[in-house]
Structure 1
């Protein structure tokens, strides 16, 4: 698989940074990975905090990977081992073809402990502090209230596949986490969405593009799909936040 070839090359290129561990989370670890469609979400744990020299090495490393077909989908946070205990710390991250800073969210931390895939070195237990149910729930509510709910009011966003897909799947996953305290896959979220009142034709569209035919939608359906999604998500998020916030 192209994914395996990319990961092998990435791990070899990473050797000069001497990572303590490299972990996969998200779809790659959770069993719902779709080659060519899913992102490869990784965390490399370094012995020391990133320096300017580390940033340069990371940029060179990822630019060299561009010859690999799936390289643009590989996202990696470079976390210092002694900073993993600080949930608010923003770690050096390569994503979307550039350097930025990101936290390791409670959802990611729970994923790593529950089903994280160890690609190199030590497992998450012992390096990464666990996340409590309260911390996870508070984060999920805050994400729905402060990120997704304001985004619903920006109509232009919902003409894009990624907003429709992630908006609905993240809502379903948040609902299960708050109700039952567990994480579910994107595939499972699609199975649950109709029962949560989501528009069935939009859910079918996401499933088709994710698991069958990725051919883009026409402009008329794209516009209608966006409005159906926004009309559903706004009240649904409001109700979820009211119930659990």
Structure 2
């Protein structure tokens, strides 16, 4: 690898080398890394690996060993990877072996992720997503987005303690903005575009500015009073906004 490789490039190259004993058929990036809005040291690395059928207990152990060997590497804490096999790749509701946040779990590869992979997924190894994943019809994508807003995000708005955390404020508002654009225009947008959209959607300006600073600039000083105020502003906006979105498009 060239000596001027970025930490992100170095991590991806090492991950692919360490993954070699599992004989990956493909490795793809989605999310910010694929969509052109990646911020090194702030954005996660969202990956999909395709492994040969079938996934055995030995495969699971190999996945765990691979990720644990990376733990000390720069940026490794943000590297999340879901493992598909050709036989199990077609169903967007099926959960798959996933390494995320330092542990093994199971997650589906949602219609949003699948559309990202088809539209702008980054191929790191092997063939393109179109060779394995079926296309995502607009109706399937829209139904998933509405369901996600209605059944996941709306109930969580009522859990006040969550919204003192950066991650809930950021993802809650950005996911809502992205959902709005997808349902209205039939397209996916980056987090940067979603931030711009939030202003037009009437989101609290000081909260949008807070997200923008933390993602793209120098975060402003904050205290417990600001965290409480930010949580209140976010919840007061997001609950009715989701209700309206679901009414219009549900």
Give TM-score scaled by structure 1 length: 0.98
Deviation readout 1:154-206 (Å, 9 max, x if unpaired): 00000000000000000000000000110000000001101101000100000
Deviation readout 1:81-136 (Å, 9 max, x if unpaired): 11111112111000000000011000000000000000000101121111000000
Structure 1 unaligned spans of 5+: none
- Is this contact kept in 2: 1:49–1:79, CA < 8 A? no
- Distance in 2, Cα, partners of 1:42 & 1:193: 27
Match of 2:133 in 1: 128
The answer to whether 1:210 aligns with 2:215 is yes
Match of 1:39 in 2: 44
In the TM superposition, what are the counterparts of 1:108-119 in structure 2 within 5 Å? 108-119=113-124
The answer to whether 1:93 aligns with 2:98 is yes
- Distance in 2, Cα, partners of 1:241 & 1:92: 31
Q: CA deviation at 1:216?
A: 6.2
- Distance in 2, Cα, partners of 1:38 & 1:79: 23
Give TM-score scaled by structure 2 length: 0.96
Match of 2:234 in 1: 229
Q: 1:192 aligns with which of 193, 197, 210?
A: 197
Structure 2 unaligned spans of 5+: 1-5
Count of residues paired in the alignment: 245
- Is this contact kept in 2: 1:50–1:78, CA < 8 A? no
Q: 2:61 aligns with which of 56, 64, 82?
A: 56
- Distance in 1, Cα, partners of 2:13 & 2:220: 30
- Distance in 2, Cα, partners of 1:170 & 1:93: 21
- Distance in 1, Cα, partners of 2:238 & 2:216: 23
- Distance in 1, Cα, partners of 2:150 & 2:79: 28
Match of 1:73 in 2: 78
